[in-house]
């Protein structure tokens, strides 16, 4: 079940304050089902805080979040059963093998025929040979790909990714982008991700949301946003905003 | 929507999902079982420390038994106290240390973005505590029989109500300790080891409550552990099962468990309001 009008994620007037500090300020946006949306902004823009509210890890101060047509946090468990998340900044227990970690998460998500699903995804991400290896002995790139395998175990309708290619070399990063495009094409998965790799965002995203000081500064297909801000690349635009240039105002 | 409304909504959601999923609880238990299988250090933890304690307390008991006024009963009291204390301590540790492990391995966010409820998370830790206690309790009892001819099994069923009460107390203390770590961060992790020992002097583990100064006795009797250890001594000395002590311990445990549930629910709410789950992994 997707929300009304094929909306996978709906955020309305979302605000998060920590004391006097306003981290997310009256943020509103929608993500359509099947879209790949890049969520951008300089450090401290409020991306992680917003992501945490979308995942039910953090309560908003005010505003409304709906994922797959269900309100977060009221329907937190129903939503979380149908979405998934990974980040290179969280990890799986290092002293369990790749297969053991995935088996645990397959059970947490109640996945039928988990063994076959795990084998299929490990193969897809080039990790089939490593299934018996301790997770702690994986390279950072392998760990990132394992995180993606974990995030795809439950065939999520919405995939939340935090810097999905942060620790990958250019070849590995391109392979991950290919897999994400494939999965979207095959399953209609909505992908909502943060990244500091502006070239990647231009190549992968249908649409971008550019956050600055907790507010939405720009929204739309990358080409449209660049035209509006009269910039050649997203990197130029990012640097301008991060350094308080004209695009930031 | 105002913050108060969201808070209410959150609590309603938690209540609506109070039904626990055995599958998800088993998944978290499976993770712990894998850890024990994979880690020699972890496996030794449920064997090494209890056995070392048993050796020290066992020899001390033998020595005390040989002193004038000592005897078999002194050995039974000391060894029985040590074994039952370990039941309490290991069960409490199973809860708070398994939570710390998720922090240390930066796995907490992975767990809390899965469809697991706080209740299922806690239930898995409680069951793990029971499993650990069974292994450690049996091991220590067999070793005490072999090394010191102290047969805890001969007391059998009469000891069960007191062991169960210690388990309930350990659950409550473990949940409160976990809540404190969640609230105050990794800087508070030492509480996982320290808090049980806060209870030890007043719980009359190795001596009767009458040994304590009079002004401390009311505080001692307010603890379910004190009733359990007094009950153990009564059983070991051959008296009939002191059901009044078991009943008091149970009543106090009900209060303590209710308190632990309230504290944990409140801290989970604070954690989600202030982003503590994210900061723990930072």
Looking at the complex, report in whole angstroms how far the Cα of residue A16 sits from the nearest Cα belonging to chain B.
9
pLDDT number for residue B136: 87
- Residue A246's CB: how many other CB atoms inside 10 A? 9
- The proportion of chain A whose per-residue pLDDT surpasses 70, expressed as a percent, equals 96
Q: What is the mean pLDDT of residues A38-50?
A: 92
pLDDT band at B18 (very low <50, low <70, confident <90, very high): low
Question: Domain residue spans in chain A?
Answer: 4-248
Mean pLDDT, residues A5-15: 93
Reply yes or no on whether the pLDDT at B71 is more than 80.
no
> Residue range A166-184: average pLDDT?
87
Residue B69 has pLDDT above 80, yes or no: no
Say which DSSP state A97 is in: B
Rounded to the nearest angstrom, the minimum Cα separation between A19 and chain B is 10
Give residue B203's pLDDT band: very low, low, confident or very high (50, 70, 90): very high
Within 13 Å of residue A200, how many CA atoms lie on the same side as its CB? 26
Beta strands A70-72 and A190-194, pairing class: unpaired
- 8 Å CB contact of B115 and A61: no
Question: pLDDT tier at A4 (50, 70, 90 boundaries)?
Answer: low
CB contact under 8 A, B34 and A48: no
Q: Which pLDDT tens digit goes with each residue over A187-228?
A: 999 999 998 888 888 889 999 999 999 999 999 999 998 888
CATH code of the domain made up of A4-248: 3.40.50.300
Smallest Cβ distance to A107: which of B13, B23, B117?
A: B23
Could you give the percent of chain B with pLDDT greater than 70?
91
A170–chain B Cβ distance below 8 A for any pair: no
Residue B17 is predicted with a pLDDT of 47
Largest Cα–Cα distance of chain A, in whole Å? 54
Q: Rounded mean pLDDT of A82-102? A: 92
Q: What is the DSSP letter of A112?
A: T
| A60: nearest CB among B6, B30, B110 | B6
Mean pLDDT of chain A, nearest integer: 91
Chain A residues lying within 8 Å of B27, measured CB to CB: 104-105, 107-108
Looking at chain B, which residue has its C-alpha nearest residue A134?
B38
Strand order in the sheet with A21-32: A21-32, A7-18, A62-67, A70-72
Which residues contact residue A48 at a Cβ distance below 8 angstroms, ignoring those fewer than 6 apart?
A162, A194, B278
Tens digit of each residue's pLDDT (9 = 90 or more) over B31-55? 988 888 877 777 777 788 888 888 8
Least confident of A30-39, A96-105, B21-30, B48-57: B48-57
Higher pLDDT, B227 or A203: B227
pLDDT higher than 90, residue A21: yes
Tell whether B10 lies on the interface with A, counting CB pairs under 8 A: yes
Q: With contacts defined as CB-CB under 8 Å, which chain B residues touch A71?
A: 9
pLDDT band at B19 (very low <50, low <70, confident <90, very high): low
Mark yes or no for CB contact B105/A108 under 8 Å. Answer: no
Q: Check B38 against A96: CB less than 8 A apart.
A: yes
* Structure confidence at residue B94 (pLDDT): 85
B8: Cβ–Cβ under 8 A, 6 or more apart, which residues?
none
Question: Hey, what are A195's tokens?
Answer: 């990244």
Lowest mean pLDDT among A39-53, A137-151, A163-177: A163-177
Mean pLDDT of B181-185: 90
For the question of whether the overall pTM of this predicted structure is more than 0.80, the answer is yes
Chain B contact probe: residue of A47, A75, A95 with most B CBs at under 10 A: A95
In 3-state terms, what secondary structure has residue B280?
helix
């Amino acid at each position: 079940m997707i929300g009304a009008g094929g909306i996978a994620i709906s955020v309305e007037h979302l605000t998060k304050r920590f004391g006097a500090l306003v981290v997310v300020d009256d943020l509103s946006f929608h993500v359509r089902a099947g879209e790949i949306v890049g969520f951008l902004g300089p450090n401290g823009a409020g991306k992680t805080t917003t992501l945490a509210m979308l995942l039910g890890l953090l309560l908003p101060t005010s505003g409304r979040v709906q994922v797959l047509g269900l309100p977060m946090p009221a329907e937190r468990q129903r939503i979380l059963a149908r979405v998934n998340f990974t980040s290179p900044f969280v990890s799986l227990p290092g002293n369990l093998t790749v297969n053991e970690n995935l088996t645990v998460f397959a059970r947490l998500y109640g996945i039928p025929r988990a063994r076959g699903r795990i084998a299929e995804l490990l193969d897809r991400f080039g990790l089939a040979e490593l299934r018996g290896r301790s997770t702690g002995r994986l390279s950072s790139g392998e760990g990132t790909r394992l995180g993606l395998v974990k995030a795809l175990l439950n065939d999520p309708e919405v995939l939340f990714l935090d810097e999905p290619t942060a620790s990958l070399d250019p070849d590995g990063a391109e392979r991950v982008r290919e897999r994400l495009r494939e999965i979207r094409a095959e399953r209609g998965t909505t992908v909502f991700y943060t990244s500091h790799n502006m070239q990647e965002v231009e190549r992968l995203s249908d649409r971008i949301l550019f956050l600055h000081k907790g507010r939405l500064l720009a929204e739309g297909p990358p080409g449209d946003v660049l035209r509006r801000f009269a910039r050649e690349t997203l990197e130029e635009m990012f640097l301008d905003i991060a350094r308080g240039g004209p695009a930031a105002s | 929507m105002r913050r108060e409304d969201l808070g209410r909504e959150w609590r309603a959601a938690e209540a609506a999902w109070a039904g626990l999923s055995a599958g998800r609880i088993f998944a978290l238990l499976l993770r712990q079982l894998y850890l024990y299988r994979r880690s020699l250090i972890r496996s030794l933890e449920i064997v090494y420390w209890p056995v070392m304690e048993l050796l020290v307390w066992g020899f001390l008991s033998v020595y005390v038994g040989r002193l004038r006024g000592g005897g078999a009963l002194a050995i039974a009291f000391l060894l029985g106290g040590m074994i039952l204390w370990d039941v309490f301590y290991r069960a409490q540790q199973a809860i708070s240390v398994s939570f710390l492990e998720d922090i240390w391995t930066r796995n907490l966010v992975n767990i809390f973005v899965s469809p697991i409820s706080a209740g299922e998370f806690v239930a898995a830790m409680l069951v793990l505590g029971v499993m650990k206690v069974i292994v450690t309790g049996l091991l220590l009892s067999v070793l005490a029989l072999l090394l010191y001819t102290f047969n805890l099994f001969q007391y059998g069923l009469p000891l069960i109500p007191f062991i169960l009460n210690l388990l309930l107390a350990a659950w409550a203390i473990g949940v409160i300790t976990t809540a404190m770590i969640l609230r105050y961060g990794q800087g508070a992790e030492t509480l996982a080891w320290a808090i049980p020992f806060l209870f030890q002097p007043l719980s009359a583990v190795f001596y009767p409550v009458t040994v304590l100064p009079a002004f401390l006795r009311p505080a001692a009797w307010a603890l379910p552990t004190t009733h359990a250890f007094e009950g153990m001594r009564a059983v070991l000395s051959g008296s009939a099962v002191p059901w009044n002590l078991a009943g008091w311990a149970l009543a106090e445990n009900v209060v303590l468990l209710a308190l632990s549930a309230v504290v944990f629910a409140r801290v989970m709410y604070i954690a989600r309001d202030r982003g503590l789950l994210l900061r723990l992994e930072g």
